[in-house]
Amino acid sequence: MKKKKKGLLAAIVVLVVLVGVYAVMRVAIPDEDQSTDTEESKETAFEEDAADITKLKIQSGENTYTFTHEDDTWKYADDENFPLSESQFLNIVSSITSISSTRELEKTDNLADYGLQNPEVQVVVTDKDGKETELKFGDVNDSVSGCYMSKSGSDTIYLVDSSVKSGLQFKITDLADKEEIPSITASTIKNVEINSNGTVQTLETNDASETGWTYKDRDGNTTAVDSSKVGEYMNNYSGVSWNDFVTYRTDNLSEYGLDNPTTITVNYQVTETKESSDEDTDDESKSSSDSSSDETEQVTVNKQAVFLIGKQDTEGNYYAKMQDSKYIYTLSADKVESMLNINPEDLVSSLVADYSFADLDKVTFVRNGQTYTAVKKEIEVEKDSDDKDSSDDSTETETKYYVNDKEIDKTAFSTFFSTVTSMEWQEQNQGIQAEGTPDITITFEKEGGINNTVEYYAYDANFYLVKDSKGNEMMVNKMKVKEMLDAFDSMIKNWESGETK
């Protein structure tokens, strides 16, 4: 019995709480249900044919804008030279040409209860006969995703979709017809040059570089940089878009810091379709075709995009324009700074020796006073019986690896060489004195391009000191070097014993 009483008391408490919540909500939200005329289905609150509208006056917050419609063209009446985006403004027009309400409220003496006494959004619609209709948009009722609207000549308050109000909250610059920034793909960029106050940094493809890319600093010093890290940087130029339109007036560039801008020049390539007429085709192709239609071919075309970067606005965004642009915009600080901040240390490969054996002529190892020279050779070998065909040759070309002119197991060498090329340095230092002789010396060579010797010195309990002939001095995890040395010794032992398979 006691349990039943406790359950009944709990139920009564819950009921009291729910009644209290309901009472609070009745006070907080204007009571549409007390109106004498409630419509649950959608009714038309305002309707006007877009073609019959000759003028719109829109108050959005503290700003009031007037737009005129003549000869099927909308213009910003306060500045007819403003590059109004027709498509964007037509979206606004269409949002008010037919406004439906989900509820209509009568006998609403206190407009302040609905945010309609001093509404933040008002629209005056003028039709072709000169008739004006004023629409006011008040508070948003989040519980039904609607906002309250009044209409001149009517005492009714309408509950309409809140998106109508939000669509009318804008700045005139939001409606500018922005110029497009060229579409640039990171993989197609061949060169980026940044010129700031006459000092230039350059990141460019370079066939003579071991990595295919070089960075040239403001003093003209050139450094080979990692192609994958360059690709990450180049992604900054993919999908660049303007933040805000600022102005079409470019007669006072100094106001935006664009009279002496930082210049970013991007040279890239695009593939375009070129049409070739019948005159470009040979006689045989002409005679074999009954059609006289033009043929097409894909061609690579060099392009250039030049960004001009000025000073920052009050929100930290940068004023910017393209070199051949007519207008001024803003770009986000994050985007601009990621484009401008080329740090060569972030672009240099963290790999000690980033070389592929397939791309080298030879690799020489000096270990324990012995010299081992590894090369690859293309050898003609007999095909397996299953691969032979009466119409084909009985031999095929196979790549084999040799050390000191003696064949070495290709898999074993590749496994060892991967420990060399995957090794990363932990930090770079300068001026550290190496002691003793290196535990191993590796020289990478390719005619006309690569000639780099890397020496590995035991340094302390945690690191090896690694030096190369390019002047780099690196600290490398001791265990990684030991792993490489063990793999080398094991490979050489098997090679010396005659294992080649």
Report yes or no on 332 lying in a domain: yes
Q: Please list the alpha-helical segments (H only) found in 67-110.
A: 86-97
Residues 331 and 370 in one domain: no
Q: Are residues 198 and 323 in the same domain?
A: yes
Contact status, residue 421 vs residue 439, Cβ threshold 8 Å: no
Shared domain check, 242 and 166: no
Query: In terms of residue numbers, what domain contains 403?
Result: 357-384+394-496
Strands (E), 358-472: 362-367, 370-382, 395-403, 406-408, 425-428, 440-446, 450-458, 463-468
136 and 269 both lie in a single domain:
no
Statement: residue 404 has pLDDT above 60:
yes
Q: Which two three-digit tokens encode residue 451?
A: 């000639």
In a domain, 230, yes or no: yes
Range in 96-110, 160-174, 355-369 the model is least confident about: 96-110
Cα angle vertex 329, ends 327, 331, to 5°? 150
Kindly state whether residues 121 and 63 are assigned to the same domain: yes
pLDDT tens per residue, range 452-473: 999 999 999 999 999 999 888 9
Is residue 246 assigned to a domain?
yes
Mark whether 332 and 377 lie in a shared domain.
no
**How many angstroms separate the CA atoms of 413 and 401, rounded?**
8
Clarify whether residues 171 and 205 are in a common domain: no
Average pLDDT, stretch 268-287?
67
Do 312 and 239 share a domain, yes or no? Answer: yes
Encode pLDDT of 176-204 as tens digits: 999 999 999 999 999 999 999 999 999 99
Tally of domains in the chain: 3
Buried b (16+ CB within 10 A) or exposed e, 281-312: eeeeeeeeeeeeeeeeeeeeeeeebbbbbbee
Mean pLDDT confidence for 331-357: 91
Mean pLDDT for 417-438 is 89
Do 368 and 323 sit in the same domain of this protein? no
pLDDT at 294: 61
pLDDT for res 454:
97
Specify whether the CB–CB gap between 46 and 133 falls below 8 A.
yes
Same domain as 217, residue 170? no
Query: Do 142 and 211 reside in the same domain of the chain?
Result: no
- 15 part of a folded domain: no
Q: Are residues 119 and 243 in the same domain?
A: no
Decide which of 175, 204, 235 is a domain's last residue: 175
Last residue of a domain, one of 111, 144, 175: 175
